[in-house]
Every structure is written in structure tokens, then in C-alpha cells.
Structure 1
Amino acid sequence: MSALAQAENALGQLSRKAGHLSAMLTLIIGDGLDSFDTFNDEIRGQYLWDCSDLTGEISSLSQQMESQKPAQALPAVRGAE
């Protein structure tokens, strides 16, 4: 698989996982929190654990994409920091 295809694949995964996490968190903020509080401790714990897992996967994909940047792109990125 080419570097471009790998980057596109990782970006697609990152986008899907971020969307999934956003949807999960939207369900438990605001008025959704009242519903969330009706679930038993085990379900709430597992739900939050799944949210945490997704953040770890998103972080890992971000790091993977960062490490695969072409060498010529790195100075521009470093200069922006």
C-alpha cells in the first residue's frame, strides 16, 4: 500500500472514530444526562470505558499520521508551533 493510501486510510479511520465518539458524548450531555443516569453502574461504566477507548484509538491514529508525514512537511509544521 502506498504512503498516500495509508494516510488516506488512517484519515478515514480517524474521521469515523471521531464521529462515533462525538455521537456517543452527545447522548450523555445536557438533557441526555438524565437518561444516562437511569442506567445501572455497569452500563454507565462500560459506556464511558468505550468513550475512553475511542479517545485512545484516535490518539494512536493521530500519532501514526504524524509519524508518516513526508520529511518536507515537517519544517512547516514545526514552524507553526
Structure 2
Amino acid sequence: MSTENSTTHDKPARLLQDEFTCSRGVYLINADDQLAVYDQLTAQASKLASMLAMISGNGYETFAGCNGETQENYLWGCSSLAKEVKQLAELISDGAGRQA
């Protein structure tokens, strides 16, 4: 059995650290594997939705009671996830364009 197919399609596309927050070289994803990109996109979108739900409605009172640093860090985490979701969505869009 040839391993040529597995290596030809396993070329990871690095998502640059300035596109969303992570250390350079930590985050690798094969942009050609649309299912893997979609799985990561939906996982991160679910995390973001849950985090935002926690500071809506009654949760806002608890959030407002936190110190400024905690609030900033929490919102930074939401922002980071939002940037990642956007980048992953663009990867899916770019991949769909290549397949058409």
C-alpha cells in the first residue's frame, strides 16, 4: 500500500498568530480537510455562544461584579474565539471556492 496519498494531502496550512490569538507554530490545521475545519469552527462557535450566554440576562450581574481585570480577560477570550471562528469560516469559504 502506497503512502503517497496520505502525505500529498497532509500539508498543514498554518493560521498565522495575528489572525487570531495563539502562539506561532501551535495551531496547525489542514485547510484541505474541510470536515476538520468545520469541526473546529463549530466547536469554537459553541464555546463563544456559551461564554456570551453567561454574561447575558441574569449572568450580567455576576459579570459586572467581577473586577476589571477579570472582565477584560473574559471579553478578550470572547474576542479571540470570534476571530478564530471568522478565520475558520474564511478557510471553509476558500475551500468551497477551490472545489467549485
Structure 1 length normalisation: TM-score? 0.81
Q: Which runs of 5+ in 1 are unaligned?
A: 72-81
Q: Write the mapping of 1:1-81 to structure 2, written as runs, cut at 5 A.
A: 1=9, 6-69=33-96, 70-71=99-100
Q: Which runs of 5+ in 2 are unaligned?
A: 1-8, 11-29
Structure 2 length normalisation: TM-score? 0.66
Considering only aligned residues, what root-mean-square deviation do their CA atoms show, in Å? Answer: 1.6
Structure with higher helix content: 1
Identity %: 30
**For 1:11 and 1:65, how far apart are their aligned partners in 2?**
7
4+ aligned runs moved over 3 Å, structure 1 = none
Which one scores higher on RCO, CA 8 angstroms, separation ≥ 6?
Answer: 1
Instruction: State how many pairs are aligned.
Output: 70
Q: Any idea what the Cα deviations from partners look like across 1:10-49, whole Å, max 9, x if unmatched? A: 0000000010000000000000000001100000000001
